[in-house]
């Protein structure tokens, strides 16, 4: 049986921290790339693999974080 290909994009997030001195420039570059970014508490960001390539190309330092230690915030419900 033929199954039509699905075009859902599966994005594996990589969690990073960016030093304060580079944060503004880095976030502007990441937003311009068009891929989604997840902003988390404690100045942590969930980015796509292409974001990592951009940061390396522009020589912006960052630290990869262990994904097992990242706690996602619980969504708050509007009442």
Confidence check: pLDDT of 19 > 50:
yes
Q: What is the mean pLDDT of the chain?
A: 83
pLDDT at 69: 77
56-72: average pLDDT: 88
The more confident residue out of 33 and 10 is 33
56-69: average pLDDT: 90
Q: pLDDT category, 74, cuts 50, 70, 90? A: confident
Task: Give CA separation, 68 vs 53, 64, 65, in Å.
Answer: 22, 12, 9
CB atoms within 10 A of CB 14: 16
């Amino acid at each position: 049986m033929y199954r039509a290909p699905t075009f859902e994009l599966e994005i594996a997030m990589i969690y990073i921290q960016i030093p304060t001195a580079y944060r503004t420039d880095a976030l502007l570059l990441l937003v311009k790339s068009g891929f989604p970014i997840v902003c988390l508490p404690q100045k942590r960001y969930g980015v796509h693999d292409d974001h990592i390539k951009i940061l390396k190309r522009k020589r912006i330092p960052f630290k990869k974080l262990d994904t097992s230690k990242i706690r996602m915030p619980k969504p708050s419900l509007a009442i």
